[in-house]
Amino acid sequence: MHMGKVPPALPALREEIGLSMVGAGWVVSLFNLTGGLLGLAAGTVGDRFGSRRVVVAGLAALAFGSLAGAYADGPFLLLLGRFLEGLGFIAVATTTPGLIIAATRGSDLRLALSAWSTYMPAGSAMAMVVAPLLLAGLGWRGVWVGAAGMALLWGGLLLRYMPPDPPGHHRADGASLLRNITLTVSRPGPWLLAVAFGCYTVQWVSLMVWLPTFLTEQRELTIGTASVLTALVVACNVPGNLFGGWLLHRHMARWKLLALSGLGMIACMTIIFSTAVPDTLRYLACLAFSCCGGMLPAAVLSGAPVVAPSRAQIATTNGLLIQGSNVGQMIGPPAVAWLVTMTADWQSGFWMLQGSAIAVVVLAFVYRGVEHSLLDRAN
């Protein structure tokens, strides 16, 4: 929700705070700066301090960062608040899977982690639908306060109903955490999945962030209509997540799912940026793009237990995967904004986004060899 609250509010933010298009892109991407820099290290924090404690602290950081942004009278405090929100997000995103793994039977683990991969599109779509309603009556500051309230509410529910630590949890010391990081980064599997995740988020987040602006400025739609249309695009990611999880549960090879997702995104991106295609068909391609892309997070996030050197490095491996995702989210929106600003043409973002989709397919075939090695070792 803290990600999805921004796109509908960007026009109001740019007018009130005086942000350029590139500056508005950084309002989105600064949220991901922390994860882009510290995701790998953050993945070990749950092992050190306890997953429940870290998740609650992360929700508190999300709340206080959003409140700080709500009282901003200029870019500095707004961006500082987004950075604090980013700290909270990376704490929650890297630590929650550990709770899921501890609470799930081994036979259901792929499905459970694939369901977890819906957190971004589901929360973002919800925020994009609700935010325009709040914008009309309370302005963008009311949206920021509402997001803070949701984070505090869920933090309180976790404190009330979640056991202090999942069964069998242990707290690793500093030497063990450093060893976990070293072991994780020495394996090709985590890196391949992390880079593929980043290539995906470059595309998906850029489309999610700038579609409302394109629809309001280029197609003269109201912000409410543009937000609902964008929310539908975001929501289409959820069926893709779940379908990807179902395919994995049916024992589809992970590399095949990555390649299938990448090929689907290539086809859809070609239609989205084609000026010879009617707008209705281009929008339908946006929906299909989000659905095809949704299979990739399911493949990546459920892959942490598979590519981790051992069970002790699952949290660290997940941290690296989230770091890859956040690097893509951090780079994508400002890069598209810069290209559009320099060329005064929205079509200029095509090759960067299409190149990212092609990279996903290439990485899938490279990962194929890693997956075969893992299967041979398991047998």
pLDDT tens digits for range 216-244: 888 888 877 888 898 899 899 999 999 99
- 263 pLDDT above the threshold of 90: yes
Which is higher by pLDDT, 367 or 16?
A: 367
Q: What is the pLDDT of residue 60?
A: 96
pLDDT computed for residue 336 by the predictor? 86
Q: Is the pLDDT of residue 171 over 60?
A: no
Average pLDDT for the chain: 86
d(CA 326, CA 43): 13
Amino acid at position 311, single letter: R
Q: Is the pLDDT of residue 356 over 70?
A: yes
- Is residue 158 within 8 A of residue 56, CB to CB? The reply is yes
Mean pLDDT value across residues 344-357: 87
Whole-number pLDDT of residue 329: 86
Where does 218-313 have alpha helices with state H?
Answer: 223-235, 237-249, 254-272, 279-301, 304-307
CA pair distance 211, 204, nearest whole angstrom: 11
Q: What pLDDT sits at residue 129?
A: 80
Structure tokens at 148: 């803070």
pLDDT at position 269 is 94
How far apart (Å, rounded) are the C-alpha atoms in residues 12 and 23? 13
- Share of residues in the chain with pLDDT > 70 (%): 96
Cα–Cα dist 170/262, whole Å: 38
Rounded to whole angstroms, how far apart are CA atoms 230 and 330?
20
Are the CB atoms for 312 and 180 separated by under 8 Å? yes
Residue 13 near residue 139 (C-beta atoms within 8 A): no
Q: Give the Cβ contact number of residue 4 at 10 Å.
A: 26
Query: Sign of dihedral through CA atoms 43, 46, 47, 48?
Result: positive
275-332 tens-digit pLDDT:
899 999 999 999 999 999 999 999 998 898 889 888 778 878 888 998 999 899 888 8
What pLDDT, on the 0 to 100 scale, is given for residue 261? 98
Lowest-confidence pick of 71-85, 101-115, 259-273, 350-364? 101-115
Query: What region, left, alpha or beta, does residue 5 occupy, with left being phi > 0 and alpha being psi -120 to 50 degrees?
Result: alpha
CA distance 270 to 145: 39
Name the residue with tokens 């979640």: 162
- Alpha carbon 223 to its chain centroid, in Å, reads 23
Segment among 30-34, 66-70, 121-125, 210-214 with least mean pLDDT: 30-34
Instruction: Quick: pLDDT tens for 79-90.
Output: 899 989 989 988
Backbone angles phi, psi at 62, to 5 degrees: -60, -45
**What mean pLDDT comes out for the span 334-338?**
86
Compute the chain's Rg from CA coordinates: 20
In words, the CATH class of domain 6-378 is mainly alpha
Residue owning tokens 């600064």: 30
